[in-house]
Amino acid sequence: PKTVYLADYTPFGFIVDKVDLTFDLAPNATRVKSRIAFRPNPDAKDRTFFLHGENLKLISARIDGEPVNTEQTDEGLTCAVPDAPFIWEAEVEIDPANNTALEGLYMSNGMYCTQCEAEGFRKITYYPDRPDVMATFDVTINGPHPVLLSNGNPIETSEHRAKWHDPHPKPAYLFALVAGDLVAHSDSFTTMSGKHVDLNLYVRPGDEGKCAFGMEALKKSMKWDEDVYGREYDLDLFNIVAVDDFNMGAMENKGLNIFNSSAVLASPETSTDMNFERIEAIIAHEYFHNWTGNRITCRDWFQLCLKEGLTVFRDAQFTSDMRSAPVKRISDVIDLRARQFPEDQGPLAHPVRPESFQEINNFYTATVYEKGAEVIGMLKTLVGDEAYYKALDLYFTRHDGDAATIEDWLKVFEDTTGRYLTQFKRWYSQAGTPRVKVEESFELDELTLTLTQHTPPSTATPDPKPQVIPIALGLIGPDGTEVLETQTVELHEETQIFRFTSLEGRPVPSILRGFSAPVVLEYDQSDADRAHLLAHDNDPFNRWEAGRTLARKALLGIIETATPVDKAYLDGLRAVVTDDSLDPAYRALMLGLPSQSDLANTLHEAGKTPDPAAIYDATESMRDILASHLKDDLHALYTANQVTEPYQPDAEQSGKRALANAMLSLITRAEGAGLAAKQYASADNMTQQLAALACDIRAGQGDGMLARFEEQWKDDRLVMDKWFGLQVMEAEPEDAAATAERLTKHPAFNHKNPNRFRAVFGALAAHHAGFHHASGAAYTLLADWLITLDPLNPQTTARMCSAFQTWKRYDADRQAKIKAELTRILDTPDLSRDTTEMLTRIIG
Ligand code: B3K
Ligand code: ZN
């Protein structure tokens, strides 16, 4: 496969002024007619007329009305063109019904839909399918479907025919088309300048009852973007469509967002509190893309973080405003450490702005998205809030309508603040997680902190240079009061010393407050200091982090030396968990333990070989210890956190349910599944039903309940995904692979549906001790299914390969087993470019 380099960027030789498309829909033989106005691009040297096109049957091609000869390859076509403006017309035939890759135009349950980002439009017609080619689109759809949708505003709707006009020039990746027998949940929004916008959420008949929450989330997002960023919506219409077969969460096509049904459909009976929160965030994310992504798009796919990092940052701000900011921050850091850190510290490490790729779909990663968002958070911290919003205003006015770059982005900050961001830019160009070592000393009344940064080299960045690291810190006095409020110091050298004087007694430093930078802190703080922070830190993130670090130490103590868990830590944790002045959601987070994968990584970093079974056992016994240490509080907390009001998926109620369910899980450990069975029977919402079911399975009594659950929900695909996933997640390590395998034989298992495939195999990969069971059965099972899925859906296959990215942490036997499976997959004839690239990088 050929590698594409950022350094090789050149503009396209032609400008597209206008695109007209006509679709005659038919499942196996859709005809697409295109009429495209091209003119030579004065800024381009190379005038080669190359149009991307894949899996297209070319019926005819004309230039200015005359048939032309074209030269075709697997990737597109070329032909001779005039050295003046001209009209290209082509007709192609495509086969949406057999498009299992779910890229381009495909069918899902009888409805037509599209997914064009990143390079799917070339599977619809011949076109310069690159984000810097922007044009206005007119689309005509002919088909026997009650609902026919495309981007922009409708200009004609008659029976079996619709015409759409999108006045905003856009790259082809934002094109969308939907046709089907759908029903709309409708509403409207009045923008800040008084413009009326019709809002529709289109779903399959039967799903109407799952739309209200998504619609409210959309309206809240529209209002928030006006209030916080001054961004107004720009069409008369905003449509969202839910589809069951979709490779990721959702897609921000102009005026016609297409959503995985799991990312938009919600009801209390079928969705958990976590589902609701995720849906609200994804609706916001896709809506926010209208400005950060669509109005200002990316010059090329290397600039992906320009829209993704920024939009993730914006949706996180939104969630913090709608819900609890500390809870959102802690959850995001848990997620960053679980997904981005292993990526950044393993064979798939790449900079936030990668410099080369073979398949761009492989770079929609936690690094581009989540680290990309962290980089923006640091920028905001460094320049301050006021300058941040000033820079954003400049970005929107200066670049509206542009296909922009990271250089453009940084320039608006430089122009606004006068501050050079040359060193800061390394956050975009260097891979790897910086490690910051903290050394502390106290004499008389002076505290000295010596901070040293070091980024381990990687294939992507063999020689990392020091980065600018904003470190928010505060000091907590011996009596627990804060003696230094949060201030941010900037680490830009390799080593810097910071002094704090006039202190009465040695304070306890609280460093990296709010997780002010995506780094690993190497800080040998004493258990007593950490317990002090757990009790007193007024920075909610670091208070949680202190508990987390103590929990990690306790777990490592069990694993390595069978050390009993420190009672001071357990008492400190108990004090927090029973403190009614604290948000129940926050207390529930306090009870969470570092993941088993995280522990494996900690051991690996310390030069030891992690044993997944020992890590599993230690985690289990730690939970038993928590259950017994909290035994006098469990029932009281369970009862106190029952919600008596009608179900609402808001932060307050969700927090209570989270804490009550954490109690239920510990109660089940201590006493068996009696209370769980009771909760299951009386639950009127999925959050409580599913939590009770999980407890029951763990208590070894899940079979009857699983059968009842299946009977109740067999017709609801999204709930059945939970049923599939939970059985794998809660399986004993030695049964995990067998459970997954058994589920693949269930009549409702369908590997062509990404949600169902991920329900089973995502859960298997996330089951640390099950996936890495010494038998190697899970490795073989996953490899078998990746081989099966690859020819049908390369994107989902390639994504799932990252389950193997941490393979070099483990012992020789496991490594050999994994390597054999990876090689077996790689040896499969005609393996996709997506999967080939992923496996080649992982094997290293
Ligand atoms: N921009 C899309 C992701 C497209 C992924 C293509 N493999 C969704 C999002 O980030 O909002
Ligand atoms: Zn996005």
ipTM > 0.90 (yes/no): yes
Give the length of the chain: 844
Report the separation in Å between the CA atom of 311 and the middle of ligand 2, taken as the mean of its atom positions. Answer: 6
Residues 6 or more apart from 780 whose CB is under 8 A from it?
737, 821
821 pLDDT higher than 90 = yes
Judge whether 296 and 399 are in contact, CB under 8 Å.
yes
Angle at alpha carbon of residue 704, lines to 698 and 706, rounded to 5°: 65
Atom of ligand 1 nearest to the CA of 286: 11
If DSSP codes are grouped into helix, strand and coil, which group holds residue 393? helix
Distance from residue 712's CA to the centre of ligand 2 (Å)? 35
Neighbours of 145 (CB within 10 A): 19
Average pLDDT over residues 102-113: 98
Beta bridge partners of 449: 440, 498
Q: Which atom of ligand 1 is closest in space to residue 289's alpha carbon?
A: 11
**Ligand whose nearest atom lies closest to the CA of 251:** 1
Closest by alpha carbon to 174, among 147, 202, 201, 136? 136
- How many angstroms does the Cα of residue 251 sit away from the middle of ligand 1? 6
pTM value > 0.95: yes
**Could you give the CA distance from residue 822 to residue 840 in angstroms, rounded to a whole number?**
9
Q: How far is the CA of 257 from the centre of ligand 1 (A)?
A: 11
Q: Tell me the best of 240, 290, 308 to mutate to test the pocket of ligand 1, counting ligand atoms within 8 Å of each CB and taking the most.
A: 308
Which of 75, 40, 74, 79 lies closest to 60 in space, CA to CA? 79
Nearest CA to ligand 1 atom 8: 251
Q: Is the pLDDT of residue 453 over 90?
A: yes
% of residues, the chain, pLDDT over 70: 100
Q: What is the pLDDT of residue 634?
A: 98
Say which ligand is closest to the CA of 257. 1
Ligand 2 centre distance from Cα of residue 696 (Å): 37
Q: Which residues of the chain form CATH 1.25.50.10?
A: 716-844
pLDDT tens figures, 577-606: 999 999 999 999 999 999 999 999 999 999
Q: Which atom of ligand 1 is nearest to the CA of 308?
A: 10
Distances (CA, A) of 653 to 321, 584, 659, 777: 16, 9, 10, 41
Ligand 1: centre distance to CA 23 (Å): 24
Instruction: Please tell me the number of Cα atoms within 13 Å of 658 on its side-chain side.
Output: 23
- Residue with CA closest to ligand 1 atom 2: 251
Distance between CA atoms of residues 823 and 809, nearest Å: 18
Residue 1 has pLDDT above 90, yes or no: no
> Strand 177-180 and strand 237-243: pairing?
unpaired
Strand 177-180 to strand 147-150: parallel, antiparallel, or no bridges (unpaired)? Answer: antiparallel
DSSP letter (8 states) at residue 727: H
SS3 assignment, position 333: helix
Across the beta sheet with 495-500, the strand order is: 495-500, 446-454, 435-443, 520-523
H/E element, 553: helix 540-561
Residue 777 has pLDDT above 90, yes or no: yes
Query: Could you tell me the fold of the domain covering 435-524?
Result: Immunoglobulin-like (2.60.40)
Q: Which atom of ligand 1 is nearest to the CA of 285?
A: 11
Q: Band the pLDDT of 521: cuts 50, 70, 90.
A: very high
Measured between its terminal Cα atoms, the distance across the chain in Å is 16
Considering every ligand atom shown, identify the ligand nearest to the alpha carbon of residue 247 and give its number: 1
User: Where in the sequence of the chain do the CATH 1.10.390.10 domains occur?
Assistant: 297-429
Choose among 46, 30, 182: nearest CA to 95: 30
Contact indicator for 121, 172 with CB cutoff of 8 Å: yes
Ligand nearest to the CA of 173: 1
Ligand nearest to the CA of residue 306, numbered in listed order: 2
Residue whose CA is closest, atom 9 of ligand 1?
251
The CATH classification of domain 297-429, taken from the options 3.20.20.80, 1.10.390.10, 3.40.640.10, 3.40.50.2300: 1.10.390.10
Among 290, 364, 370, name the best residue to mutate to test ligand 1's pocket (greatest count of ligand atoms within 8 A of Cβ).
364
Please state, in angstroms and rounded to a whole number, the distance separating the CA atoms of residues 527 and 556.
Answer: 14
Q: Check pLDDT > 90 for residue 319.
A: yes
pLDDT band, residue 55 (cuts 50/70/90): very high
Element (H, E) at 167: strand 161-170
Residue 166 phi, psi dihedral angles, 5° rounding:
-110, 110
| 10-47 tens-digit pLDDT | 999 999 999 999 999 999 999 999 999 999 999 999 99
The preferred substitution site among 103, 243, 248 for testing ligand 1, maximizing ligand atoms within 8 Å of CB, is 248
Shortest-distance Cα residue to atom 4 of ligand 1: 117
- Given ligand 1 and candidates 103, 116, 117, which is best to mutate, with the most ligand atoms within 8 Å of its CB? 117
Strand, coil or helix: 443: strand
Nearest CA to ligand 1 atom 3: 251
Each residue's pLDDT tens digit, 526-553: 999 999 999 999 999 999 999 999 999 9
Q: Following DSSP, what letter does each residue of 365-377 receive, concatenated? A: -HIIIIIHHHHHH
Q: What tens digit of pLDDT does each residue of 467-518 get? A: 999 999 999 999 999 999 999 999 999 999 999 999 999 999 999 999 999 9
Rounded distance from Cα 721 to ligand 1 centre (Å): 22
pLDDT of residue 618: 98
Burial of 280 (0-12, 13-18, 19+ CB in 10 A): buried
Contact present, 367 and 344 (Cβ < 8 Å): yes
* Residue closest to 294 by CA, chosen among 303, 309, 307, 312: 307
Tens-digit pLDDT profile for residues 662-708: 999 999 999 999 999 999 999 999 999 999 999 999 999 998 999 99
Task: Assign domain 716-844 one CATH number from 3.40.50.620, 3.65.10.10, 1.25.50.10, 2.60.290.11.
Answer: 1.25.50.10
Q: How far is the CA of 286 from the centre of ligand 2 (A)?
A: 6
Task: Quote the ligand 1 centre to 740 CA distance (angstroms).
Answer: 28
Q: Cite the DSSP H helix spans in 270-371.
A: 273-288, 304-322, 325-335, 341-344, 366
Pocket of ligand 1 (CB under 6 A): 117-118, 248, 250-252, 285-286, 289, 308, 361, 364
User: Residue 349's pLDDT is what?
Assistant: 98
Q: What is the mean pLDDT of the chain?
A: 98
Question: Rounded to whole angstroms, how far apart are CA atoms 481 and 434?
Answer: 31
Active-site annotation, residues = 286
